[in-house]
Chains A and B, each alone.
Chain A
Amino acid sequence: MSKASKINPVRGPVQLEVMEPVARFSLRVGKQGRQQLGQALGLELPERIGMRSSQGGREALCLGPDEWVVLAPEAERETLFTAALEAYAEVPHSLAEISDREITLRLEGERATDLLTIACPRNLELMPPGSGRRTVMGGIQVVLWRDGQDAYRLDVWRSFFDYIHSLLETGNREFAAEAQLESQSA
């Protein structure tokens, strides 16, 4: 990534942090194989789109009827691959590594949800903490994880990352300016 700093100086009410990479996979498997493959990979694969599970540092988010994004600590990358490979004969599936396809931005702060609405048309109130969605930000496909009421992770394809990041920084500065104006007039 071209942004050198990992943590941005707070120039607005929302903390924006570029996350360290993790092992990330796109997992595709049919209905019948869901549970069995989940067992092989050591975590439940939730059935409903938007639902998440986590187990021993691994996380899964259901993105489609046969699609999950699976996260694991980098050290477990090979273990996961091997486990999948062993299960393949019985449960055919696709496990494609996408660790480097995306960069993750973490947002936290009281106005984090507002900040996302500068570019995300989805109704984020319908996305409770502990869920996630594939959605769009500024016309770009992203995966959004809601970790808390005011905390999100945003997975953005690498080449789109700077665009989204600087867009959110711009919005964050706007919020700061509005707060400044309000405190002046108060």
Chain B
Amino acid sequence: MTAFRVAESGRVRHDRPVEFQFDGRSYQGLEGDTLASALLANGVHLLGRSFKYHRPRGILTAGSEEPNALVGTRRGPGRYEPNTRATVQEIWDGLQAESQNRYPKLSFDLGAINDRLYMLFSAGFYYKTFMWPRSFWERVYEPLIRRAAGLGKAPQEPDPDHYAERHLHTDILVVGGGPAGLSAARSAAKSGARVVLVDESAEMGGHLLSEPGLVIDGQPAWDWLAGMLEELRELGVRVMSRTTAIGYYHQNFLALCERLSDHLKEAPADLPRERLWQVRAGQVVLAQGALEKPLVFDGNDRPGVMLAGAAQTYLHRYGVRAGDRHVVATSHDSAWHAAFDLSDAGSRVEAIVDTRANPSDALREAARDRGIRVLSGHTVTGTSGRLRVNAVRVNPVHDGSVGPAETLGCDSLLMSGGWTPSLHLFSHTKGTLRWDDESDAFLPDQQAEACHIAGAGRGLWGVEAVLQDGDLRGAEAAEAAGHKPESGAFQVENDRTGSGETHRELPSDRKPGRARAFVDYQNDVTAKDIRLAVREGMKSIEHVKRYTTNGMATDQGKLSNMNGLMIAADAVGKAPPQVGLTTFRPPYTPTTFGAFAGYHRGDHFEVVRKTPIDSWAEENGAVFEPVSQWRRAWYFPRQGEDMEAAVARECLATRKSLGIFDASTLGKIEIAGPDAVEFMNRMYTNPWTKLAPGRCRYGLLLGEDGFIRDDGVIGRLSDDLFHVTTTTGGAARVLTMMEDYLQTEWPDLNVWLTSTTEQWATIALNGPNARRVLEPFVEGQDLSPEAFVHMSVAECRVAGFPARLFRLSFTGELSFEINVPARYGRALWEKLYEAGQQYDVCPYGTETMHVLRAEKGFIIVGQDTDGTVTPDDAGMSWAVGKKKTDFVGMRSLSRPDLVAPGRKQLVGLLTEDGSVRLDEGAQVVADPNQSVPMAMIGHVSSSYHSATLGRSIALALLKDGRNLKGQEVYVPLPSGLHKARVTDTVFYDPEGERLKV
């Protein structure tokens, strides 16, 4: 057995030893140990170096609030985690842990020079010291400071673990599995409510795990606990251990992080590491207990200095003594009991040093019985020992003056500065706190959510009081959730109640400027720093916090906020409530990024929508590009082709003979009902009344502001039925906009909208041979140019599949778009592709589609428009019904600024040198010789190499563009200044002859 283990004590399994490593050395612990308890059992107190001063640090607490004992842990390749709290990490065979922030080794660290230079490192020193030269901040100072300060190193490898998510609804969520939480869960569940009980620890029980001497309802505490958990199980309470309530949001929505595998030696491959639960609770009971405060004195951070309550937990829960010779320094009765328990377990307690002049007689007597020396009315003024405390310096205090010092030898200094009710989650809800003079603490006041605070969280002390309160709060919550409450009574023997005092830093006979009295251990903030901040003008606690970084570490000031406030209040000369408390924010404890990401990584990072024809494209070597959530075939390179070559080939093949294109992603909306045409007239700029069934028309959709929002070809299938197409990215947005108008502006219209985007697979055939290849497949529609004119639509069958067939063109070639039910998309594609072989059919992707449409001057909404382009700006006044009395955006089109001359208009640009392809987004200037900054007259919106024309082409939005036609403009690019001529937007076949094939 290891030196500090107490035989047959604690909840650890003495028959199950566990081997683990710390800094390369092997140690033995027991099943049930945390890394901290196992190291303490081996007499190891030095665990790391501090953030700023690289001071040796040990274990301060026994819980998730630990600011000091942060280590790196490794669970195999890619599974390195920095800043693991040793007090939380459970050990298992083979666990590897290492200390942080030290070089070359933990016991001798070069960075500790910072500690010698501490006078330089006071609050705000960065701002004062590294002010000039200004340019040095980013390149020299900050990187150096960042290297010198800091804790663990971020892992470099990808995280191989997976993280899960769940949603949960419950009547009542109880946070905290200590006595208050247990009794709350029970009374709530007995009323019939559905109850979830969570605790961050591996075991339920909270404080009861550290107080086995209690007798509850006639049973030893741990037997009572086992019975209680059994009862909760029978009542159907969902009990979740290793589960931290990390955030409490609006309307009783809470986030829980459940840790599933960090405590396991071997986990099944599919087991997630952590799971984020999103809980919607009717009522919440917060039973988070209280956290012990350190005392603030010089050298209160040395390894071997520990909170007394933590020592009590190590003793009872883990069967570990925190040392052989203890000195206890306290301002609260609770530490006396820890001293007695350690003494009873065979440790030597040299002295109990109480800051209060008159501790109770009962405590004095109990100390005397154990032969423990009591020094009341004393202060602590220093500690010594390089890597572990070996002595404490104490002085009597009389009437505010500090008397002569005495040095007490020890290997363990236990301290207690009283207890802070843990109200972090309550604070997340914006619940307010009030200062309670009696307990010197902030207690819950006004609440903003349906929550109930039980036990030590609202300042109660003693297990009986807390059990009783939990029971009542549980019943109260059940009643609020609509259940009939049922409550019980508890009797607790050996209940060690007590009280205490709250202090600022302890008085000293030494120079206060030399004291290293730590308030925030994790961020290395001392009492001196807080006083300095106040001296330098910080009056609000929020400013003091930011100036000193007190409470800004990952522990969010769980230990430091109250001490910091007491010191700041004293320095400002105001009462603590007037100085105020900073706000706690989620998460309650440090939480992995993985837990937040959940399933959103790898294949599940984000939805990738694929068309029914996507698999064919993949099999045929397509290169894909993302278009909103879709992935679309971009181009189909042949062996040895780059993108430019592939696109040139695809363009030429389509213009020459036949191209085939997957247009399935186009948004589709079916608009049906007697008022369908009226609705269309109101939504789109174009007139629809005279569009005959069987014909289609290009439609332009504006926003209320008169700017182009979307476009697409719309077919009229019957008097009351329109098949609308939208842009790929606009599908959902357009439907939402239409529904919005329909439901809020025109509920009287008898018309209904249905998204049919995914009902149909859409294949576009383009090129002079399009009709020849399609015609043999079509039944029920004559495809001849006379019977099926340009801009027609028909319901027919294609290759035996029911189809909606459009004749339209987005390339300027003879073109058909065939819609078939999605399941037949790939089959039809393959048939057309096979039949197209005789015409050298060429599958093409989005890039070729873009080039072909640009050659014709067709716009892409969102590329050639940017939300400030009107139909006239785009040269599309022809699409606006001149006789229409209203449509969305119509009134805006006559706004003075939209009719004023000098607006940017869409034009074509041809570079002087046809081999130069302008950059999309490049700015355009009229005169390159003007002085900088030049007046920019617009920008290039689309730019391609046109294989058809054997030169580059571009579209641009230029101020007063149409008046500039024929003139020269200049486009500065990284490659140099390029001259270009302003032209019409249609570069190819302006007469539209090619449609007439």
Q: In the complex, what residues of B have CB within 8 A of residue A28's CB?
A: 672-673, 752, 754
B756 partner residues in chain A, CB cutoff 8 A: 96-98, 101
Q: Do residues B603 and A166 form an inter-chain contact, with CB atoms below 8 A?
A: yes
Residues of A within 8 A of B264 (CB): 181
**Which among B150-158, B604-612, B832-840 touches the partner chain?**
B604-612
A26 to B673, CA, bound (A): 13
Question: Scoring B residues 104 to 146 as 1 if CB is less than 8 Å from chain A, else 0, what string do you get?
Answer: 0000000000000000000000000000000000000000000
- Would you call A21 an interface residue if the criterion is a C-beta within 8 Å of the partner chain's C-beta atoms? yes
A150 at the interface (CB under 8 A from B): no
Of the candidates A94, A159, A180, which one forms a contact with B630 in the assembled complex, judged by CB atoms under 8 Å apart?
A159
Report chain B residues within 8 Å CB of A140. 607
CA distance A170 to B272 in the complex (A): 10
A170-B604 contact, Cβ under 8 Å, with A121-B167, A177-B270: yes
Interface positions, chain B 275-295, Cβ under 8 Å from A, are 278, 280
How many angstroms between the C-alpha atoms of A157 and B164 in the bound complex?
Answer: 24
Per-residue contact bits, chain A 136-165, to B (CB 8 Å; 1 contact, 0 not): 001110000000000000000111101100
Contact between chains at A94 and B271 (CB < 8 Å) = no
Q: Measured between C-beta atoms, what is the minimum distance from B825 to chain A in Å? A: 9
A43 at the interface (CB under 8 A from B): no
**Which B residue's beta carbon lies closest to that of A21?**
B823
**Nearest Cβ in chain B — how far from A2, in angstroms?**
6
What's the Cα separation between A28 and B162 when bound, in Å? 43
When the two chains form the complex, which single residue of B604, B751, B823 contacts A167, counting CB atoms closer than 8 Å?
A: B604
Q: Whole-angstrom distance between the alpha carbons of A155 and B752 in the complex?
A: 21
Q: A159 — which chain B residues lie within 8 A by C-beta?
A: 607, 609-611, 629-630, 758
B16 within 8 A of A: no
| Chain B, Cβ-Cβ closest to A89 | B674
Chain A positions within 8 Å of B630 at CB level:
159
Q: How far is the CA of A166 from the CA of B629 in the complex (A)?
A: 17
A174 and B609 contacting across the interface, CB-CB below 8 Å: no
A66 touches B752 (CB 8 A): yes
Chain B residues with Cβ under 8 A from A123's Cβ?
A: 169, 280
Q: In the bound complex, do residue A101 and residue B759 qualify as a contact, i.e. CB atoms below 8 Å apart?
A: yes
Taking A28-B754, A173-B270, A177-B269 as contacts, is the C-beta distance between A99 and B610 under 8 angstroms?
no
In the complex, whether B268 has a CB less than 8 A from a CB of chain A is yes
How long is the Cα–Cα vector from A140 to B732 in the complex, in angstroms?
12
Q: Chain A residues near B168: list those with CB within 8 A.
A: 117
Docked CA distance A12–B754 (Å): 36
CA distance A121 to B278 in the complex (A): 8
Decide yes or no whether B166 CB sits under 8 A from chain A. yes
CB pair B610 A2 closer than 8 Å: yes
CA distance A166 to B750 in the complex (A): 40
Chain A residues near B779: list those with CB within 8 A.
none
In the bound assembly, the distance between CA atoms of A114 and B672 in angstroms comes to 39
Chain B contacts for A125, CB-based, 8 A: 169
- Which residues does chain B contribute within 8 Å of A98, judged by CB atoms? 754, 756, 759
Nearest A residue (CB) for B194: A125
Contact status A118-B164, CB under 8 Å = yes
User: B672 touching A96 by the CB < 8 A rule?
Assistant: yes
**CB interface residues, B 165-182, toward A, < 8 Å:** 165-169
Contact B164 A177 (CB under 8 A): no
> In the complex, A173 Cα to B267 Cα: how many Å?
13
Taking a contact as CB atoms under 8 Å apart, the answer to whether B278 and A171 are in contact is no
- Contact check: which of B271, B611, B751, B821 meets A178 at CB < 8 Å? B271
* Cβ–Cβ contact B758 & A157, under 8 A: yes
Q: Which of A21, A139, A177 has the most CB of B within 10 A?
A: A177
Of A30, A97, A120, A162, the contact of B167 (CB 8 Å cutoff)? A120
Instruction: Find B670's partner among A30, A94, A171 (CB 8 Å cutoff).
Output: A94
Question: When the two chains form their complex, are residues B670 and A181 in contact, meaning their CB atoms are under 8 A apart?
Answer: no
- Knowing A2-B615, A94-B673, A99-B759, the reply to whether A160 touches B754 (Cβ < 8 A) is no
Contacts of A94 in B (CB 8 A): 670, 672-673, 751-752, 754
Which residues of A lie under 8 Å from residue B670 when comparing CB positions?
94, 96
Residues in A neighbouring B757, C-beta threshold 8 A = 101
Inter-chain contact A174/B164, CB cutoff 8 Å: yes
B599 at the A interface (CB under 8 A) = yes
Query: Counting CB contacts under 8 A, is B402 at the interface?
Result: no
Q: Is B964 an interface residue (CB 8 A)?
A: no
Does B760 sit within 8 A of A, measured CB to CB?
yes
Please, how many angstroms separate the alpha-carbon atoms of A26 and B668 in the complex? 14
A128 interface contact, C-beta 8 A:
no
Q: Is the CB of B167 within 8 A of A102?
A: no
Q: How far is the CB of A67 from chain B (nearest CB, A)?
A: 8
> What residues of chain A lie closer than 8 Å to B604, measured between beta carbons?
163, 166-167, 170
B822 at the interface (CB under 8 A from A): yes
Considering the complex, give the chain A residue whose CB is closest to the CB of B162.
A170
Closest CB in chain B relative to A4 CB, distance in Å: 10
Q: In the complex where A100-B822, A177-B270 touch, is A26 in contact with B754 (Cβ < 8 A)?
A: yes
Q: Is the CB of B607 within 8 A of A160?
A: yes
B612 touches A158 (CB 8 A): yes
Minimum CB–CB distance for A117 against chain B, Å: 5
| A167 contacts B599, C-beta separation under 8 Å | yes
C-alpha spacing A99/B604, complex, angstroms: 26
Q: How far is the CB of A116 from chain B (nearest CB, A)?
A: 9
Residues of chain A within 8 A of B674, CB atoms compared: 92
User: What's the least CB distance linking B351 to chain A, in Å?
Assistant: 46
Report the minimal beta-carbon distance from A136 to chain B, rounded to whole angstroms. 11
Is A134 part of the contact surface with B, judged by Cβ < 8 Å?
no
| In the complex, residue of chain A having the shortest beta-carbon distance to the beta carbon of B759 | A101
Chain A residues positioned under 8 Å from B603 (CB to CB): 166
A119 within 8 A of B: yes
> For residue A158, which residues in chain B have a CB less than 8 angstroms away from its CB?
612, 758, 822
**Complex Cα distance A162/B631, Å?**
14
Asked whether, in the complex, the Cβ of B599 is within 8 Å of the Cβ of A138, the reply is: yes
A33 CB to nearest B CB, Å: 10
* A101 pairs with B822, CB closer than 8 A: yes
With a CB–CB cut-off of 8 A, which chain B residues contact A121?
167, 278, 280
**Cβ-neighbour of A181 out of B164, B271, B615, B629 (below 8 A):** B271
Known interface pairs A94-B672, A99-B821, A167-B604; A174-B754 also in contact (CB < 8 Å):
no
Residue from B267, B269, B599, B760 having most chain A Cβ neighbours under 10 A:
B599
Complex: chain B residue closest to A99, CB-CB = B821
On chain B, the residues within 8 Å of A180 by CB distance are: 268
Alpha-carbon distance A101/B754, docked complex (angstroms)? 11
Residues of chain A within 8 A (CB-CB) of B162 are 170
Chain B: CB-nearest residue to A25: B754
A103 to B452, CA, bound (A): 45
| Complex contact A117–B821 (CB within 8 A) | no
Q: Which of B723-756 contact A (CB under 8 A)?
A: 750-752, 754-756
How many angstroms between the C-alpha atoms of A97 and B759 in the bound complex? 8
A58 at the interface (CB under 8 A from B): no
Closest to B165 in A: A118
Q: With CB as the reference atom, state the residue of chain B lying closest to A95.
A: B672
CA distance A43 to B732 in the complex (A): 31
Interchain nearest-CB distance for A66 vs B (Å): 7
Q: Is A176 an interface residue (CB 8 A)?
A: yes
The verdict on A93 contacting chain B, using a C-beta distance below 8 Å, is yes
Chain B residues positioned under 8 Å from A119 (CB to CB): 165, 167, 599
Cβ-defined contact, B608 with A163, below 8 A? yes
Contacts of B822 in A (CB 8 A): 100-101, 158
Residue of A nearest to B631 (CB): A159
In angstroms, Cα B823 to Cα A123, docked, is 33
State whether A100 touches B758 (Cβ < 8 A). Answer: yes
Cα-based distance from A99 to B610 in the complex (angstroms):
18
Please give 18 more A-B residue pairs, beta carbons under 8 A apart, in addition to A99-B759, A159-B758: A2-B614, A66-B752, A92-B674, A92-B720, A93-B752, A101-B758, A121-B278, A121-B280, A123-B280, A138-B599, A140-B607, A158-B758, A159-B610, A170-B604, A177-B269, A177-B270, A181-B268, A181-B271
20 contacts between A and B (CB under 8 A): A93-B673, A94-B754, A96-B756, A96-B759, A102-B758, A117-B168, A118-B165, A119-B167, A123-B169, A158-B822, A159-B607, A159-B611, A163-B604, A170-B162, A171-B164, A177-B270, A181-B264, A181-B267, A181-B268, A181-B271
Give the 4 A-B CB pairs with smallest separation, nearest first: A28-B752, A159-B609, A94-B672, A94-B752
